[in-house]
Amino acid sequence: MPTPTRAPDHVFVAPSLVRRVFQVVLVASLAGLAYAVWRAWQQTDAASGALAVGLAVLVVLCWMTLLMSVPQRITITGSHIVIRRAGENHRFDLEDPGVDMLVRDGSVAFGHYRDNWVIVEAREVEWSTFMDVVMAYQNRADLNAEARDERFRR
């Protein structure tokens, strides 16, 4: 029996002006395509047919561009954070004392002994909410590190 997956507690998607422009062009070209098809059906002239074909190509190109350009997406489920950027998933457990976190003005870098550093900047997330969640788990990681150190001192 498959285990049900838990819904993410927080999802942050980086805003993208280029992506927004392609979305607007896609909607406008879909509306233009509907009009061009209706006009080509009403009047059998070559200009309406050519316009419909051109707009259909534009719709396909915009759609493919939107599918290929997935923006950065950060999901936090419990203490686990997944940063999807450029087709790669970077996973970190925020309660793990082995996860390094560097906070600077307007950015946070996550690192692990096996992975490269992943930097999240303030303009990519809702900064106050993101930092509240991350720092809450970072406090738990500090407690876990103290407990781990205490076990190894014996």
Same domain, 84 and 117: yes
The string of pLDDT tens digits covering residues 9-57 is: 778 887 788 888 999 999 999 999 999 888 888 887 788 888 889 999 9
* Whole-number Å distance between alpha carbons of 9 and 23: 27
* Whole-number Å distance between alpha carbons of 39 and 89: 47
Residue with tokens 């980086």: 14
Same domain, 101 and 130: yes
Q: Residue 121, Cβ neighbours under 10 Å: how many?
A: 14
Question: What is this structure's pTM?
Answer: 0.61
Same domain, 145 and 101: yes
pLDDT(151) > 80 = no
- Output the domain CATH number for residue 112: 2.30.29.30
Same domain, 89 and 145: yes
Q: Residue 53, Cβ neighbours under 10 Å: how many?
A: 13
Residue 84 located in a structural domain: yes
Confidence band for 76, pLDDT divided at 50, 70 and 90: confident
Domain with 93, as residue range(s), is 74-153
Q: What is the pLDDT of residue 142?
A: 67
Same domain, 149 and 83: yes
* Whole-number Å distance between alpha carbons of 59 and 32: 10
Q: What is the pLDDT of residue 25?
A: 95
Same domain, 87 and 49: no
The string of pLDDT tens digits covering residues 107-137 is: 888 888 766 888 888 888 888 888 888 888 7
Last residue of a domain, one of 45, 68, 91: 68
Same domain, 84 and 64: no
Which one is predicted more confidently, 86 or 53? Answer: 53
Residue 27 located in a structural domain: yes
